[in-house]
Amino acid sequence: MKYSALGDEGGTVQTSWTVEQPVDDQRRVTFNRIETNEVKKPVQPRGEPRFGLRLMRDSIQQLGGTFVQNWAGKGLDTSFTRDVDNSQ
């Protein structure tokens, strides 16, 4: 939290998730995270992801999922997607 948008006054983090209907005994779960900071000037990518983004990316990839990030204006949109067996 210290290094996310919540580390500064005016920062917000919104989260949501979706679960798609099973296909071939698999459910697709997507977690979305939108980080914005209205006080700061527009955010730009910083080259190689820093610790927090690397931790999120590497964690979901170790679980066999996908990680997508999109720098958008005053924030960062990230999503994590993973197929889950219906028996889990």
Please report, for the chain, the start and end positions of each structural domain, with discontinuous segments joined by +.
Answer: 5-85
Report which secondary-structure segment, H or E, holds 32: strand 26-37
Cβ 56 vs Cβ 29: under 8 Å: no
Pairing mode, if any, of strands 75-85 and 11-23?
A: unpaired
pLDDT category at 29 given cuts 50, 70, 90 is: very high
Residue 18 or residue 86, greater confidence: 18
Q: How far apart are the first and last CA of the chain?
A: 30
Q: Is the pLDDT of residue 58 over 60?
A: yes
13, 5 Cβ separation under 8 angstroms: yes
